[in-house]
Structures are given as C-alpha cells and as structure tokens.
Amino acid sequence: MKAPGHISGSALALTAIFLLGLPSLAQQAVPAAPSPPPAQVTQLLRASEMRADKLPTADVLATLPTGATVQVRSLEGGWAQVSWQESSGADSPGRPSEKTRVGWVRAGALNLQVGNAQAATLLNGRTERAHSAMTLGVRNLPARDNRHALIIGISRYADPRIPELPGTHVDRESATQMAQAMQVPPGNITYLQDEAATGDGIRKALQELSTRIEEGDRVFLHYSGHGTRYKDAQAGNCVEALLAYDGGPQGTVTNREMADLLKPIVKKSDKLFVMYDACHSGGIVQTAQTVRTRGFQNSNDEGVLRPKFVATSDECSRPVNVKGRNLAVEQTEQGALAQDIIYVSASRDNEVSFDDEEKGGLATQYMRDCMLRDAQDLDGSGAVSVDEIRQCAQGKLNQRMQNDALFKPHNITLHGNSSFVPTWFHQPVSEAMAAAVPQAEATSQPAPVQQFTGEQALRQIFDQRDAKRQVRAQLNKAPLKIGQDFVDLQLNSSRDGYLYVVMAGSDNRSLYLLFPNELDRDNKVSAGASVRLPRPHWRLRASGPAGTDSLLVMVTDQARDLAPLRDSPYTTKAGPFVKSLNDAQGRAALGYQLLTGSLGATGSCAGREGRNAQRSSNTGPACSDAYGAALLSVEEKD
C-alpha cells in the first residue's frame, strides 16, 4: 500500500476522501534530522580514579588529576563513562590517539554545571555502531510511577555450611541500574538483602508488592543467590527452588510456590520481568564449596568464581533425565499469558552459573552492561528487545569463559515474551562518539540485519501488548479493489480506552498514524462497544499498488501524547495523518510515543486516592502504559 493523499477538487464537498496509495508521498523528501550534539567535554573538579567498571571495587586504570579534561560518554547510576587523553595529539582528525583511555569516574567529580542541557542528551548506555541510533538512557527517560522493582540478594546464609556469594552485593547495584533503565523510580524499588531475605520475608514482600501495584503497572523482579533442586515425592520429579537466607523447608521457595505468589501481580501488571541469577543444578560440581581462584584455570578470569547452587538432594543435584519445571511453565499453567511474562535465568536447568565476588553474577553484570550500553539493534527495528540483550550478554559470557579448562559457559535462558522491549531507544549518535568506542568493547554478536518490513515494525509494537486486554478488529470488505473499494474497519475492545490505528504499506517505505488525525480526534472508546472507521467525514480508498498492507489497531488504557510526533525530525505530515519513514529512527519515534502513556511533564501521577478516583470515573487506569492490540492484513487487488 502506498501513502494516503488528499484528492483535490473532489465532488464530495463535505467529505474528505483520502487514497490508500500515491507512491509520490512515500518518495517525498523528509526533512533531514538535525545533527546530534557532540559528547560533552568538561573538567574534573577533583582528582579521581578512573576504573574499569562502574564499581568502587573495579580495577583502577588511571588517576586523573584535578582539572583534567574528559569527554563524557555516558551517565549511569552516579557514574560517568569518560574518555581521557593522557597526552595531546591524535592519530587522525576526530579519532583518539593511542593514549586515550576509556573508563568510569564518579559523576560528582565532573563539572556538569555548564552545558547541563547538553549533558542530558548524552547517550546513557549503549551505542549502536551499525545504525545511527542510541539509547535515550536512564537520565533522559524520566522515572514513571507505574514501574516497580523488587531486588533480592543473599550473600550469606544462616547455615554456615552454605558458601557465601560476595558478588550479590554488586548484583544489588547492577539490578538497580537495570530497574532505573526501565524507568522505575527509586521510591518504587524494594530491597531484601541477606537476613531480610528469609523465606517469609520474600513471601511478605511479594504480597505487599501485589497490593501496591495498580492495573497496567510494570514489575521487575531480580533474585541473586543460591538456587537448589530436590526430589519432590508428591510431584514425582525434581523441583527447582530458590534458597532463602534461613534455608530448610521454610526458607526454600519453589518455582511452583513462586508462581502462586506472583499470580496476583501477573493478573494486574502490564508486564512482569523476572531475572534469576542462580542455578538449579549442580551439574558436574559435586560440592558447592568449589571455588576457583583468579586465573588459576582460565587466563580470562577477572576474579574468584563461585557456583550459585547448593545441593540439597544427591539425586537432583546432577543433570537428570527428569527435568524440573521452570517458573515460566508454572506461571502459564496457573493461567498467566506467556505474552505478559519475561523470565530470564542465568543458566539452563542442568548447568552451573557463577558468581564473581568482585563484579557479581556473570549473568547479571553482562545483562546490565548490554541493557545499558552494549547490546545491538540486530534487526534494525529502532528498539532493542530483551532477546537482543540476552544475545549480547551471552557473547560476553562466552568470551569470559572461552579458555576454561573445567567449565563451559552457562547459557542465559529466556522464556515468555522474547520480543519485550525493556526501554525504548531512538536518538542518533554522533560520528565522533562512535569513533571513540574502543574495539575491545565489541561483542560477538552477528551484524545487524538491514531490512525491516512495515509489517515487522507493526508486529514489534503488537508484541508489547498486554494479552489480558482483548481487541478484535475485522475488515467488512476484503480484499479491496484498487480505485473502487473503501476501507471499512469494525472493532471492539474488552476495556475502555483510547483508540489508535497505524498503517504500513506493502512498499515498506513509511508508517502512518491514521487515527486519531487532524480531521477526527475523538478516539475514546467504551468496552464492548462496536466502532467503525473511517467515520463518514473522512474515508480511505484503496489505490494500489497491488499487494498486502498491514493495520495495527491499539486500545490503550491511558491517552498517548502525540504532540512530540508533530515536532519530531523523524516524522512529517501526510495530509491529516502523521507519517514516519520505515527506518530505525522513524520506527522508534513512533513506537515510543505509542507505547508510553501520557503522565504529564513530570512523569508522575496522582496518589493512590487520585488514581482510584480516576478509575471510578470510568476513564481507565491512571499511570498505565498497557494496551490491547490487533494486527490484520489488508489485501489490495487490481
């Protein structure tokens, strides 16, 4: 399908008719995007140690003197990633010399008072080298009151026979940075550490979380500690479980019990993202006391590695033919929809995962780094999915353990919605910043795929839907005869909300926000009510070329703020509609606005009483990004 266009001089004086066609619109030049601001150059307010990672225990790469000039490349969780030239000069214009160092310093040591607005536009995380896109980042995406996190870490146990996991203290900070990247405000993050993370403490925290969250909220749950597996006579197989601080029957939380505790959260939340940095099998490790010292078996070792498994059953501590049932399986059997859950585990059920006592769990530290800065947009969609983050993390893990004499890399596994986008990205990266990325930062990921069809672009948005919200849509006439038939779309929603319709033509050049538009802004719909589009005062007629177009129909809990699309360099007008090119930047600009509920300039919403009042006034849940969606094809024939 080609672009919509206005028919001038139409005989229907009171009816605006628009064609589904006119390739000239798709070929019209779109205003060029302005060049992004360069990375901020500033000075250090005090002498600071440049570290290899944003951790106070990471190796010191250099000591920077007071007044040293640095280029700020990223701001993450109180740390700044900077590049610093030890000596003047460069190999070639615009490229750093061999003396350039890249590392992390405390953000408080930098003079960011001047040019603060520029600092706010820095990439705050990953640079994508194959496409001109970068993250909006933690600093740029405001915290949202409808995001929540529960972070559990157990570094030592009541039973002295259970080995310590010192790295879980680092995992707490890493998980916090991941939560912030997903726009969870600090006040919505709950921590359970060591003695607080008893079996009953975990159960209570999950119950309180289920009470606190509202319809359409998003939840991130991170656990770092020992996993275990034991034979359950009643179940007749090996049961996987998390080992709480107190251990024993009361301190063992099985996947089945966890699924039961999470059930009310799944019922209300838009998405539940769970990450376990633990393993549920001892594999070839016969005792959890196995500890390998730095570099003893593997020249790539950066610190002491400890298996994150405690054997409570000889039969189930080794790889077995009878597999356990992971959390995703347990959750879906309790009625959860796989679309609404994301479950990441540090290893497969018959593998060992490891804790680095200096940098934390291998899975957590690499998922963190990939989410914040290193993962690539492999399909060129304009967003980075949780599976692309997993692939990046797995590449780093493989590299870390590639020369190990005893252990193979454990495999980070993903169940549920692999297309989930934890946070949306869409800013161009300057060439200077891309050139400053050291080659050592490259991962083993495959090169990004360049082609991304319009149907795939709409499917990516469709895949972020809340499956509990049903939207049904159908064409009353199909296929459509070019030059003769008009689109007649009928739909209904299981919930009250706001209706949006996006089209991708078969030419794959552009995406169009068809509704609401400048002629028709009334997009509020009621649950169960039948809606027909287009309405009488505007119509859409098939005008070729022959082929299959795609329509995405969304009903959102909360209205979307479309004003940024009108001002975006990546969108333009096509008659009364908003048009974006089908490239990474255009898709991301459109996708971010459609996926994010409008909460005002501060990103905050009313208190609990205000939110309940809004719900009772039949305007839909406040502070909700959730939506239902339908995706359908429109065939045009000569």
158 and 110 inside one domain = no
Distance CA 570, CA 582 (A): 10
126 vs 146, higher pLDDT:
146
Does 76 share its domain with 153?
no
Question: Residues 120, 255: one domain?
Answer: no
- Do 595 and 615 lie in one domain? The reply is yes
Query: Where a domain ends, among 382, 402, 423?
Result: 423
Give the residue with greater pLDDT, 337 vs 251: 251
Q: Is the pLDDT of residue 439 over 50?
A: no
SS3 string of 510-534? EEEEEECECCECCCEECCCCCEEEC
Domain end: 86, 103, 130, which one?
130
286 in any annotated domain: yes
DSSP string covering 534-552, please?
Answer: S-TTEEEEE---SEEEEEE
Residue 438 lies in a domain: no
For residue 486, what are the contacts with CB-CB under 8 A and spacing of at least 6? 480, 534, 539, 540, 541, 542
| 149 assigned to some structural domain | yes
For the residues 598-606, what does the mean pLDDT come to? 56
Considering only residues 22 and 394, tell me which one the structure prediction assigns the higher pLDDT: 394
Percentage of the chain with pLDDT > 70? 69
In this predicted structure, the answer to whether residue 229 has a pLDDT above a threshold of 60 is: yes
Half-sphere exposure of 588 (CA within 13 A, CB side): 25
Residue 187 within any structural domain of the chain: yes
CA nearest 23: which of 539, 576, 513, 545?
545
- Does one domain contain both 198 and 244? yes
Q: Which residues of 390-404 are buried (b: 16+ CB within 10 A; e: fewer)?
A: bbbbbbbbbebbeeb
The confidence score (pLDDT) of residue 428 equals: 32
pLDDT tens readout for residues 67-109: 999 988 877 656 788 999 886 554 455 554 557 889 999 888 8
Residue predicted with more confidence, 111 or 246: 246
Nearest to 78 by CA among 58, 59, 56: 56
> Model confidence over 245-272: pLDDT tens digits?
998 889 999 888 998 999 999 999 999 9
> How many angstroms separate the CA atoms of 277 and 296, rounded?
24
Is the pLDDT reported for residue 328 higher than 80?
no
Residue 340 falls inside a structural domain: yes
pLDDT tens, 346-388?
888 777 788 887 788 899 999 998 998 888 888 878 888 999 9
What whole-number distance in Å separates Cα of residue 525 and Cα of residue 627? 13
d(CA 203, CA 184) in angstroms, rounded, equals: 21
Domain boundary among 405, 423, 441: 423
Higher pLDDT, 607 or 412: 412
pLDDT at 297: 40
Do residue 407 and residue 508 come from a single domain? no
Q: Is the pLDDT of residue 393 over 60?
A: yes
Please give the pLDDT value at position 90: 46
Shared domain for 205 and 305, answered yes or no, is: yes
pLDDT at position 299: 45
CATH assignment at residue 154: 3.40.50.1460
Is residue 468 domain-shared with residue 496, that is, in the same domain?
yes
Based on the domain organization, do 193 and 62 belong to the same domain?
Answer: no
Could you give the percent of the chain with pLDDT greater than 90?
A: 38
Q: What is the DSSP string of 386-438?
A: HHHHHHHHHHHHHHHTTT-SS-PPPPPEEEE-TT--SS---B---HHHHHTS-
**Which domain does 87 fall in, by range?**
40-130
Is residue 429 domain-resident?
no
pLDDT exceeds 60 at position 126: no
In-domain check, residue 499: yes
**Is residue 572 within a helix (H) or strand (E), and if so which, with residue range?**
strand 571-574
608 shares a domain with 484: yes
- When divided into structural domains, the chain yields a total of 3
On whether both 117 and 169 belong to a single domain, the answer is no
Residue 279 included in any domain? yes
Look over the chain and give the mean of its residue pLDDT values, rounded to a whole number. 76
CATH number at residue 564: 2.60.40.2550
- pLDDT at residue number 383: 85
Regarding whether 170 and 106 lie in a shared domain, the answer is no
Reading the block at residue 412, the tokens are: 């980070």
pLDDT at 507: 85
- The whole-angstrom separation of Cα 480 and Cα 287 is 67
Rg (CA), the chain: 26
How many other CB atoms are there within 10 angstroms of residue 337's CB atom?
Answer: 14
Which CATH number characterizes residue 75's domain? 2.30.30.40
Hey, how many other C-beta atoms are within 10 angstroms of the C-beta on 300? 12
DSSP H helices, 70-187, are 116-119, 137-140, 168-181
User: Cα dist. 458→423, 449, 452, 553, 610 in Å?
Assistant: 17, 17, 10, 10, 34
Determine how β-strand 48-51 pairs with β-strand 489-493.
unpaired
